[in-house]
Structure 1
């Protein structure tokens, strides 16, 4: 996946949404048709003699109460899945990505509108090895040139 961390991605199995009255069918359909924010990309890797194909992880949502998140929903997809994916929104120029580590497989933990908001969020959430990455004009321009801008 060539989209930058922080992009909003929808996925689909290309089937029609069942009517509301079919609750079980609708719940199953929603598992295969939803959206989330791209938070991690991993290349091909191996564990022992087993090769794992590249994958990416989307943050679908949070559940909790009174400002406390108790459950985070992350979905990881292999690049060889039969689902279709479409980027509908990309991070904007000047947004700041807060990633958990300075490494190739870093995970996006927050996307802030500016550096001050990112630093404030970081002081409240405590990621000691976090790195701040600004969305640059070059990154935004590359998306326009390559025709990857979300509609």
Structure 2
């Protein structure tokens, strides 16, 4: 699947695998392995932003994958996210769609919707929101057997 397909049809909260198609180098080649790891991995789709145009510039549509949180003793020190534009040469595939009944905590930020948290149900999402205050946050329950697509249709 190409990047445009991810932007157009994959719901927020999905686990998306990305790859440059190259085989993984042996561990003894640390530089090659690090470069390979940069273009191959998995992340959760947390945001998409439409294309923007100005008088002298054009930004293509993008989507953002959350790759991980790093820290210790319950404190998150660093959040790793990567944004891809719809012209990315990488290949993408969906590993997992959101589970029906999950509660997604979403927030509108700068004209885009961003996934902040996934909870097992509405009560857990409300508890998370009570301890993590965000303005313009809302809770959406993932439909039973249906995935909401960005264009308003369902799959």
Q: TM-score, normalised by structure 1?
A: 0.88
Where does structure 2 lack aligned partners over 5 or more consecutive residues?
1-6
More off after superposition, 59-68 vs 99-108: 99-108
Asked whether 1:90 is paired with 2:97, we answer: yes
Q: Whose relative contact order is higher, 1 or 2, with alpha carbons under 8 Å and at least 6 apart? A: 2
Q: 5 Å matches for 1:112-123? A: 112-123=119-130
Contact 2:15-2:97 at 8 Å conserved across structures:
yes
Going from structure 1 to structure 2, the CA distance change for 1:81 and 1:116 (only over 3 Å counts) comes to same
1:40-62 deviation digits (Å, cap 9, x = unpaired) = 01111124421111110000001
- Choose which of 27, 35, 44 in structure 1 pairs with 2:34: 27
Asked whether 1:74 is paired with 2:81, we answer: yes
1:90-124 deviation digits (Å, cap 9, x = unpaired) = 11111111112288611101111110111111111
Give the 3-state SS of the residue equivalent to 1:28 in structure 2: helix
Contact 1:92-1:140 at 8 Å conserved across structures:
no
Q: 5 Å matches for 1:112-151? A: 112-137=119-144, 139-140=146-147
Q: TM-score, normalised by structure 2?
A: 0.86
Could you tell me which residue of structure 2 aligns to residue 60 of structure 1?
A: 67
- Choose which of 41, 44, 51 in structure 2 pairs with 1:37: 44
RMSD (CA atoms): 2.0
More off after superposition, 125-134 vs 52-61: 125-134
Tell me by how many angstroms 1:128 deviates: 2.8
